[in-house]
Structures are given as C-alpha cells and as structure tokens.
Amino acid sequence: MEAPTLRDVYQAKKTIAPHIARTPLHYSAGLSELLSAEVYVKHEEYLPLGAFKQRGGVNLLANLTEEERAAGLITASTGNHGQSVASACRMFGVRAMVCLPENANPNKVKAMETLGAELIFHGENFDAARMHGLQLSREEGYRFVHPVNEPLLIAGVATASLETIEDLPDVQVLVVPLGGGSGVSGACIVAKSIDPSMEVLAVQSEQSPAGYRSWKEGKIVEAQNETFAEGVATGTGYELAQQIIGDLLDDFLLVNDDDIRRAVATLIDKAHTLAEGAGATALAGALKYPEKVKGKKVAITVSGSNTTIEQLRQALDAY
C-alpha cells in the first residue's frame, strides 16, 4: 500500500465536491478563553451522516472498478465508517454489508439500516467484527473495505484538514482524534506537505491505546480495547496509518474516558456543539495538555456527533 499524497487529496476534493458540502471552521471564544489560545472548531458533525468518515466512503466508491462494485462491498465498523460505506454504496447502487460488534451503538445501527446496509453482528468488539468480515470476503468474493488500510479512504477524509488550512492558512496546530488513524494520517499528509512547521497532534483514549502504543514502539501492537467512545475504539494499530504517522506526526496524547466525557460537556457549554465521545476526544487532549496549544492558533476537529442519550447523560454528569 502506498500512502496517498497531497495531489491525491486534491483529487479527492474534486471527486467528493458534488456529493458532500464543505463543513465550517468556526472561531470559539469560549474555548479560546479556556485554553489561552486562538481556537477554531472544525465541524465535521455538520455532515449529513454526522461524521467525517462520509468523505472517505464517497471517494472510495467513486474510484472502484465495475468488477469490484458488482461483487458487493463488505466492511467492519463501530458505526461511522459503516454509515459512510452504506451511504456511498446507496449513492452508487452497490450492495453494502457491514460487520458490527454485538454491542454497537443503536443509533448508528439504525442509521446503517436506514441507508440500506445488510448488518452482520459478530463478536464483542470492532476487531472481532473486522476479522469476520475479512473471512466472509474471502469465502464469498466480496470486495473487503478495510476501515483504515485504504489509500482512497485516507485521501477522502484528508479533505477535512485541507479545508481547515484553506480557511485558516496560518493555523499552527491541528488536533485530531485517533481510532484507526485515517483522520490523523490524512491531517499529517496535508499539513506536512503544505508547511512542515505545522504541528499535528493525535489524541486517543488510554482505555484503547493500541494506536498510541504502535506509534510509540514503531511496530503494530495490540492492546486492550475498552473505551466507551466507539469511534476511537480499536484494539490494534493499522499498517498504513502507522506508516504515515510514524514519519509525520508531531505528538500523540492519551486521555482517559472521563476526560472525553468532560470534553463532550465542555463542547456543549463553551462551543454550543454536540459531539459523540470520539468527536470530543481531540478537545479532551487539548484540555488535558493545555501547554501543547497555549498561545497558538489551533484547529480542533469535532469528528462526529452520533451519540446516545445515555452517553450524553453520563458526559453531563461528569462535568
């Protein structure tokens, strides 16, 4: 697998433009005061599916061969990636199958059903569902869509960071949540291609630290996968993302699940923004390590808003 380039990201921007509207980058006075920085929020939760992953799905489907489309697509997801693939398959008239952990977010499950995906529940976590999907693809001949090791997905989601820099050319720091790593690796490709001095910070839950440990140790590592924030809940690092961030990422911050819950509430209180756990993870990193952003011009990505009432209640209780 070859990592996508900035040229690929610009091509993805052109590909997805007819299907996906640009999302806003808003200055937040409340977060700026709280963090002693000039803080802007990249509102990926404004996308129709409520998450940044939609960009990658459209870019992937638009570039598949007729043979791949005819075979049907199968993937694995905790929700947002599955919605992205289901939505893009519906757009292009392709059969979509999504393998999910048995405890998947019910709101995201309903969304995927509504988008026409065939849902296959398997295992206790994302990685068990992913391995089951891979096995089915080998047995039945479906085109397996890896949630991270797909250059077209990374190029697609990287368009969010490209928009951020276009809207705020003098931004100094991009703070992005990391689950599998497509969003962070896309941010690294864009930022470092445009200005190597621009910093990219990844943030992950210490309850699911496989991405962090893989980056830290320079090899693919498996680790516990227990975070409530399903969008950053992965139990292993992934080759393509780790290849990219191993070369380009400036720093990697770990937060705990209570930090994430408080960040969900902080976004509501200070930025009038609703986020799911994964969507608030980047802010959780900035709040826990304020020295990383103090005095700088910072863009914080809210990657999604597909939360449940119970998760939101827990976040408000933790505030």
Is 6-53+152-318's fold the same as 54-148's?
yes
CATH topology of domain 54-148: Rossmann fold (3.40.50)
Mean pLDDT of 163-175: 98
Q: What is the pLDDT of residue 17?
A: 97
Residue 1 pLDDT more than 90? no
> Which residue in 156, 150, 185 sits closest to 13, CA to CA?
156
Q: Where are the domains of the chain?
A: 6-53+152-318, 54-148
Half-sphere exposure of 46 (CA within 13 A, CB side): 15
Residue 222 pLDDT more than 90? yes
Q: How far apart are CA 143 and CA 104, in angstroms?
A: 23
Q: How far apart are CA 278 and CA 228, in angstroms?
A: 9
Q: How far apart are CA 187 and CA 17, in angstroms?
A: 19
Q: Which amino acid is at 65?
A: T
> Which residue in 38, 59, 58, 33 sits closest to 48, CA to CA?
58
Q: How far apart are CA 208 and CA 227, in angstroms?
A: 6
Average pLDDT, the chain: 96
Is the domain spanning 6-53+152-318 CATH 3.40.50.1100? The answer is yes
Q: What is the pLDDT of residue 178?
A: 98
Distances (CA, A) of 248 to 28, 47, 171: 28, 27, 17
The residue to which tokens 């940044």 are assigned: 52
Q: Which residues are catalytic, by number? A: 53, 303
Q: How far apart are CA 270 and CA 80, in angstroms?
A: 25
pLDDT digits (tens, 9 = 90+) for 17-72: 999 999 999 999 999 999 999 999 999 999 999 999 999 999 999 999 999 999 99
pLDDT digits (tens, 9 = 90+) for 247-281: 999 999 999 999 999 999 999 999 999 999 999 99
The residue to which tokens 């809940």 are assigned: 233
Query: Based on the number of CB atoms within 10 Å of its own CB, is 219 exposed (0-12), middle (13-18) or buried (19 or more)?
Result: exposed
